[in-house]
Amino acid sequence: MSDSSYDDELYDDGLNEEQFAERVDLELWKKLFVFTRPYRRELTMLISCGIATAIFEASFPLITREVIDDVAANGSQVNLWYYAGIYLGVIVLLGMSTLGFIYMAGKIHTYASHDIRRAGFANLQRLSFSYYDYRPVGWLMARMTSDCERLTDILAWGILDLFWGTSIMLAICIAMLIMDPLLGCVVMLVVPLLWWVSKYFQREILFSSRQIRRVNSEMTGAYNESIMGVRTTKAFVRESHNARDFGRLTGRMYQFSLRNALQSAVYLPLIMTLGSLATGLALVIGGMNMIAGTLTAGTLIAFINYTRQFFDPVEVLASWLAEMQMAQASAERVISLIEAKPDIEDSEAVLAGIASHHPVARDSELAVDGMEERIREIELRNVHFAYDPAEPVLKGINLKVSQGETIAIVGPTGGGKSTLVNIICRFYEPTSGEVLINGYDYRGRSLHWLQSSLGMVLQSAHIFSGTIRENIRYGRLNATDEEIEQAARVAGAHDIIMAKEHGYDATLGEGGQQLSSGEKQLVSFARAILADPQILVMDEATSSVDTVTEARIQKGLSHVLAGRIAFVIAHRLSTIRAADRILVIDGGEIIEQGDHATLLGHKGHYYELYTQQRIGTTTDRDSGWMPG
Amino acid sequence: MNTKEHQHGHYQELWALTHGQRLRYGGAIAAMFVGIGFTYAMPLIVKWCIDGIMAGEFAGLSGFPPLEGHHAYVYLVGAALAVVVCTAIGGLLTYLRSRWAAVASQHIIRRVRDRLYTHLEHLPTRFHDTSETGDLIQRCSSDVETIRTFLAGQIIQIGRTLLMVLTVAPVLFWMDFKLALVSLSLMPLLFFFAFQFFNRVKDLFQKRDEAEAAMSAQLQENLTGIRVVRAFARQAHEIDEFADKNRAFRDQDQKLNVVMAFYWTLSDILSMLQMGLVLVAGAYWLMAGDIGVGTLFAFYTYVGMVIWPIRHLGRVLQDVGKAMVSLGRLNHILAETEESFDEPEPSHPIAGDIRIRDLSFAFEPGKDVLKHIDLNISEGETLAILGPPGSGKSALIQVLMRLYDYDRGSITVGGTELRELPRKSVRAAMGVVLQEPFLYSRSIRDNLRVGRDGATDEELLAAASEAAVADSISSFRNGMQSMVGERGVTLSGGQRQRLALARALVRDPAVLIMDDSLSAVDTGTEKRILEALRARKGRATTIVIAHRLSSINDADRIIVMDDGHIVQSGPHSKLIDEDGPYRRLCQLQSSLESSLKRDLESSKEPTRV
Tell me the pLDDT tens digit for each residue of A315-350.
Answer: 888 888 888 877 887 888 888 888 888 888 888 888
Higher pLDDT, B586 or B336: B336
Report percent pLDDT > 70 for chain A: 89
B302 against B210, higher pLDDT: B302
> To the nearest whole number, what is the mean pLDDT of chain A?
83
Nearest CA to CA, how far is B532 from chain A (Å)? 19
Q: What is the CATH number of domain A404-426+446-621?
A: 3.40.50.300
pLDDT of residue A43: 94
Average pLDDT over residues A534-546: 77
Determine the distance in angstroms separating the CA of B265 from the nearest CA of chain A, rounded to an integer.
Answer: 5
Q: How far is CA B422 from CA B403, B417, B510, in A?
A: 12, 10, 16
Assembly ipTM = 0.83
Q: Work out the average pLDDT over B354-363.
A: 91
Q: Look at residue A569 and tell me whether its pLDDT is greater than 60.
A: yes
Q: Which residue has the higher pLDDT, A152 or B231?
A: A152
pLDDT band at B439, cuts 50/70/90?
Answer: confident
Q: Which residues of B touch A265 (CB under 8 A)?
A: 94-95, 98-99, 102
B190 contacts B270 by C-beta, under 8 angstroms: yes
Is residue B546 within 8 Å of residue B389, measured between CB atoms?
A: no
Of the candidate ranges A429-433, B124-128, B306-310, B311-315, the one whose mean pLDDT is the lowest = B311-315
Whether residues B492 and A273 touch (CB distance < 8 A) is answered with: no
**Which of B86, B279, B325 should we substitute to test contact with A (largest number of A Cβ atoms within 10 Å)?**
B279
**In terms of Cα–Cα distance, which of A593, A602, A608 is closest to B607?**
A602
pLDDT(A394) > 80: yes
pLDDT average, residue stretch A573-586: 82
Task: Give the model's confidence band at A11: pLDDT under 50 very low, under 70 low, under 90 confident, else very high.
Answer: very low
Q: Which of A261, A269, A267 is nearest to A198 (CA)?
A: A267
Nearest to A225 among B109, B284, B440 (CB): B440
For chain B, the domains span: 3-334, 354-577, 579-609
**Per-residue pLDDT at A85:** 94
Q: How confident is the model at residue A114 (pLDDT cuts 50, 70, 90)?
A: very high
pLDDT tens sequence across B462-476? 999 988 888 888 888
Which residue in B88, B268, B487 is closest to A98 by CB distance?
A: B268
Question: How would residue B13 be classed by pLDDT, with cut points 50, 70 and 90?
Answer: confident
Residues of chain A found within 8 Å of residue B237, distances taken between Cβ atoms? 477
Q: Which CATH superfamily is domain A12-339 in?
A: ABC transporter type 1, transmembrane domain (1.20.1560.10)
Residue A616 confidence (pLDDT): 38
3-state secondary structure string, B362-390?
ECCCCCEEEEEEEEEECCCCEEEEECCCC
Provide mean pLDDT across the span A136-156.
Answer: 84
Instruction: Spell out the domain ranges in chain A.
Output: 12-339, 404-426+446-621
Phi, psi of A379 (to 5 degrees): -130, 135
> What CATH number labels B3-334?
1.20.1560.10
Handedness of CA A24, A28, A30, A35 (dihedral sign): negative
A238 close to B (CB below 8 A)? yes
- Average pLDDT of chain B? 85
In this model, does residue B448 exceed pLDDT 60?
yes
Name the closest residue on chain B to residue A297, using Cα atoms.
B50
Instruction: For residue A313, count CB atoms less than 10 angstroms from its CB and return exposed for 0-12, middle for 13-18, buried for 19 or more.
Output: buried
What is the per-residue pLDDT for A250?
Answer: 93
Is it the case that residue A231 has pLDDT exceeding 80? yes
Residue A12 has pLDDT above 60, yes or no: no
Q: What distance in Å separates residue B54's CA from the closest CA in chain A?
A: 8
Q: Of the spans A3-7, A93-97, B511-515, which averages the highest pLDDT?
A: A93-97
Look at residue A1 and tell me whether its pLDDT is greater than 60. Answer: no
Residue predicted with more confidence, A106 or A327: A106
Q: Which of A11-25, A40-54, A270-284, B207-221 has the highest mean pLDDT?
A: A40-54
Task: Give the count of Cβ contacts less than 8 A between chain A and B.
Answer: 459
Mean pLDDT score, A371-397? 86
- Measure in Å the smallest separation between the Cα of B222 and chain A Cα atoms: 9
Task: Please name every residue paired with A434 in a beta bridge, in sequence order, or none if there are none.
Answer: A381
Report the pLDDT value the prediction gives residue B315, as an integer from 0 to 100: 76
Locate the chain A residue with the closest alpha carbon to B225. A462
Contact list, A612 vs chain B (CB under 8 Å)? 523-524
CB < 8 Å to A135, chain B = none
From chain B residues 496-535, the ones with a CB under 8 A of any chain A CB are 503, 507, 522-524, 526
Is B210 within 8 Å of chain A by CB? no
pLDDT for A13? 38
Question: Residue A602's pLDDT band (boundaries 50, 70, 90)?
Answer: confident
Indicate yes or no: CB of B588 within 8 angstroms of CB of A270.
Answer: no
d(CA A320, CA A62): 29
**What's the confidence (pLDDT) of residue B278?**
95
pLDDT tens profile B46-60: 999 998 888 888 877
pLDDT band at A172 (very low <50, low <70, confident <90, very high): very high
The distance of A28 to chain B (nearest Cα, Å) reads: 25
Let me know if the fold of B3-334 is the same as that of B354-577. no
> CATH assignment of B354-577?
3.40.50.300
Whether A228 has its CB under 8 Å from any CB of chain B: the answer is yes
Q: How confident is the model at residue B592 (pLDDT cuts 50, 70, 90)?
A: low
SS3 category, A410: strand
Q: Which one, of A144, A170, A195, A146, lies nearest residue A320 by Cα?
A: A195
The answer to whether B49 contacts A287, with C-beta atoms less than 8 Å apart, is: yes
B603 touches chain A (CB under 8 A): yes
Q: What residues of chain A, 134 to 153, have a C-beta less than 8 Å from chain B?
A: 136-137, 140-141, 144-145
Candidate from A67, A284, A511 with C-beta closest to B283: A67
